[in-house]
């Protein structure tokens, strides 16, 4: 057997099957899982409750890590960006966002992105490939190595590089490992997935995993949305919002709609009023984000007064509308700035 069996590619059930096929008892899989995920071990030799023979066999036939930290950048606001190198030399970025009582990891699901949203740097770099379930999971293990003794990773957001629902099969497998009590043991309530609005995949995911969905809206009419998000030509607003009404949401859960305010494009009072109309009747909350400028960007940040007016119009219509403070802009780690090119 070649040395390329990556243990984090297995769900707990698959790992148990693999261990049994190799003639070992099932409890060996439980021990391995504990070392991989509770202890975050990187080396078989530390797994002292496994027999020496089995450890030697694992050294020959299995691998633990799929991602390797190449460098880490820290912004003045405490945001940490990890540049991770994959086995084939491709690179991805994950971001640790410290918000006091919450420590959130922003995960990538693809190398690059195929959806080409006009405002997003990741999309401009084009699409390279999907990440495997193991590569998604191993980002979490890598991030946990960067946090200090007093810190604990509390939340996960699939908002890094790539469109998670375009890699649905691997994302679902990763979620199995992430939420399993024999895996990383995260509560589904602490996981949010952001999508440009791939309707069939949204419906599939919501029926399998009751995680929180964040839908990238960024415009209140089809003409503007198609201009900034080409996906709108395939799934226009009416169809997208209809699908949002059909989602199987846990009680008390609302859909988050993300709205990136682009100066002079979608930040007018009229756009805000349109937004209140199209979202009427939906269990919605709205995350407003001011555009983060970067060198060569085609858009401008909105003025503070237009952001304030926009938010007020939504709140006057009884929508929960929060202004998300972008973090990590100093290290190109803010929303829409991730790219594997630097």
Positions marked active-site? 93, 335
Q: What is residue 258's DSSP assignment? A: E
User: What is the C-alpha to C-alpha distance for residues 243 and 254, in angstroms, rounded to an integer?
Assistant: 14
Residue that is written with structure tokens 């401008």 in the block: 300
Q: 255 - beta bridge partners?
A: 284
Q: Report whether 191 contacts 211 (CB < 8 A).
A: yes
Residues with Cβ within 8 Å of residue 316, at least 6 apart in sequence: none
User: What is the C-alpha to C-alpha distance for residues 41 and 34, in angstroms, rounded to an integer?
Assistant: 9
Centroid of chain to Cα 245: 23
Strands (DSSP E) contained in 222-283 are 255-261
Question: Kind of pairing, strands 80-86 and 67-74?
Answer: antiparallel
């Amino acid at each position: 057997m070649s040395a390329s069996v990556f243990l984090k590619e297995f769900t707990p059930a698959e790992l148990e099957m693999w261990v049994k096929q190799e003639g070992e008892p099932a409890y060996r899989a439980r021990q391995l899982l504990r070392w991989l995920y509770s202890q975050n071990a990187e080396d078989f030799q530390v797994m002292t409750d496994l027999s020496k023979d089995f450890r030697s066999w694992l050294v020959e036939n299995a691998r633990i890590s799929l991602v390797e930290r190449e460098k880490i950048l820290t912004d003045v606001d405490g945001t940490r960006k990890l540049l991770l190198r994959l086995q084939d030399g491709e690179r991805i970025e994950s971001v640790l966002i410290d918000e006091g009582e919450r420590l959130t990891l922003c995960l990538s699901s693809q190398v690059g992105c195929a959806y080409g949203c006009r405002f997003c740097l990741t999309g401009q770099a084009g699409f390279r490939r999907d990440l495997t379930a193991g590569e998604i999971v191993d980002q979490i293990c890598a991030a946990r190595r960067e946090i200090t003794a007093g810190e604990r990773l509390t939340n996960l957001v699939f908002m890094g590089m790539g469109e998670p629902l375009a890699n649905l099969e691997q994302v679902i497998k990763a979620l199995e490992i992430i939420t399993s009590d024999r895996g990383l043991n995260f509560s589904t309530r602490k996981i949010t997935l952001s999508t440009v609005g791939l309707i069939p995949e949204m419906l599939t995911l919501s029926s399998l995993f009751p995680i929180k969905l964040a839908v990238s809206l960024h415009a209140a009419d089809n003409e503007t949305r198609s201009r900034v998000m080409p996906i709108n030509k395939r799934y226009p607003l009416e169809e997208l919002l209809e699908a949002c009404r059909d989602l199987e949401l846990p009680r008390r859960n609302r859909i988050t709609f993300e709205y990136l305010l682009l100066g002079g494009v979608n930040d007018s009072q009229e756009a805000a009023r349109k937004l209140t109309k199209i979202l009427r009747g939906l269990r919605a909350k709205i995350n407003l984000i001011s555009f983060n400028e970067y060198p060569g960007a085609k858009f401008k940040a909105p003025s503070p007064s237009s952001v304030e007016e926009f938010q007020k119009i939504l709140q006057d219509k009884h929508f929960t509308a929060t202004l998300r403070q972008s973090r990590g802009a100093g290290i190109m780690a803010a929303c829409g700035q991730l790219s594997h090119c630097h």
